[in-house]
Structure 1
Amino acid sequence: MDALDRLAEPGLDLLARVDTLLAAGAPEGHRLWPLLRRMQVLPGAAVREFLDLHPAPLADAGHAVRRLTRGYDDACTLLADPVAWSGPAASAYDEARTTLLRHLDEGPESLVGRLESTAGYADALADWVEGSRLALARALADVLRSAEAVTVCAATAAGRDDRAGALAAAEIATRVLAVLGVAYDGAETLLRQWAPSLAETTWRDRPAGVRAANSTMRIG
């Protein structure tokens, strides 16, 4: 359980009150409006969805992907073992073997390179979730102890729909949605940065020549 989990219950209670007051509309001209147009969600609903994001599953996924590279390493070791034969058929095999080795594990466009990139992307996402949850927890802690929180609670407890309550709700919503907006910007930046490394890999080479099936091959 992290700081965001600990603040979830009181934070969601406050934000539910904020959402109730904002359902009637935010104050005209308030700086909340651009955030609402961009996020298209009220702060309570946004935070509830974000609470489901945790870094541990993403970090575990990165570790699991890295473990897959061991199988490729074993296959590459077998392919790299020298063979005691010669002749046209042996040369054709060597060409195919070299091509397959390149495809499996040579450079970022190989299968192993793509696995490593996928694991790195999972790690980066885990770091993004952890940092974003911490930033959101700090924002919730700030609004929970704010004067605006007192005004919102008083307005909703009394069932009032007054200007002071709406303005306080808008201020709280602005702080929360601004943090979530930064978090989502970070996620989009990560995707743009990693997208080239996550593209599907293709078979990059073909054997230079094709040997006849009845070519001579000498073993030993």
Structure 2
Amino acid sequence: MDALDRLAEPALDLLTRVDALLAAGAPEGHRLWPLLRRMQVLPGAAVREFLDLHPAPLTGAGHAVRRLVRGYDDTCAMLADPVAWSGAAAGAYDEARTALLRHLDEGPESLVGRLESTAGYADALADWVEGSRVALARALAEVLRSAEAVTVHAATRPGVDAGRSGALAAAEIATRVLGVLGVAYDGAETLLRQWAPSLAETTWRDRATTAPRYGGTTRIGH
């Protein structure tokens, strides 16, 4: 359990009140409006969804992908073993073997290269989640002890007219929370743009081969 998990219960209580006040309308011209148009969600709902994001599953996925590389390494080692035969069939086999080795583990576009990129992307996402949770927890801690939080609680008591002060306080809290989440989502989009070329589907890279010759002699052994 991290700081965000510990703040979740009181923060969601406050943000549920904020959402209720904003459902009646945010103050006209408030700086919250661009965030609402961009995020298309109220802060309580946004935080509730973000709470389900944890770095551990992504870190575990990165480790699992890296374990797959060992199997490719074993296969490549078998393919790289010298074969004691010669002739046309041996030459064709060597060409096919070389092409397969290249496809499996030669450069970032190989299968191993794509696995390593996938693991790296998972690690980067885990770091993003961890950093974003810290930033959000910090923002929630600030709004929970703010004067606006007191105003929101007072404005949402049964039988109390929220008035302009309640709506303004709710808008200020929402701006702080959605601002942090907006930065977090920008970070996620940046990661995707950075890693997308390395995550593209790998394709078989043909290499020029010699036309097969028939009727030749194949020699086994030295």
Same fold (TM over 0.5): yes
| Matched residue type, 1:175 | R
Q: State the partner residue of 2:114.
A: 114
1: CA distance, partners of 2:214 / 2:26? 78
Conserved in 2, the CA contact under 8 Å of 1:96 and 1:207?
no
Following superposition, the deviation at residue 156 of structure 1 comes to 0.1
1: CA distance, partners of 2:146 / 2:161? 19
Following superposition, the deviation at residue 149 of structure 1 comes to 0.1
The aligned runs of 1:121-200 (5 Å cut-off) are 121-158=121-158, 159-200=160-201
| Matched residue type, 1:89 | A
1:72 maps onto 2:53 in alignment: no
| Matched residue type, 2:183 | V
Count of paired positions = 220
**CA-to-partner distance for each residue in 1:159-199, whole Å, 9 max, x for gaps?**
32200000000000000000000000000000000000000
**CA-to-partner distance for each residue in 1:58-93, whole Å, 9 max, x for gaps?**
000000000000000000000000010001110111
Following superposition, the deviation at residue 218 of structure 1 comes to 0.6
Q: State the partner residue of 1:16.
A: 16
1:201 maps onto 2:202 in alignment: yes
Conserved in 1, the CA contact under 8 Å of 2:59 and 2:122?
yes
1: CA distance, partners of 2:170 / 2:144? 12
Conserved in 2, the CA contact under 8 Å of 1:18 and 1:169?
yes
Any gaps of 5 or more consecutive residues in structure 1? none
Conserved in 1, the CA contact under 8 Å of 2:88 and 2:214?
no
2: CA distance, partners of 1:102 / 1:14? 57
Following superposition, the deviation at residue 211 of structure 1 comes to 1.9
| Matched residue type, 1:99 | A
| Matched residue type, 1:145 | R
Identity of aligned residues (%): 85
2: CA distance, partners of 1:60 / 1:43? 29
* TM-score, structure 2 as length reference: 0.97
1: CA distance, partners of 2:136 / 2:53? 12
Q: What secondary structure, in the 3-state scheme, does the structure 2 residue paired with 1:157 have?
A: coil
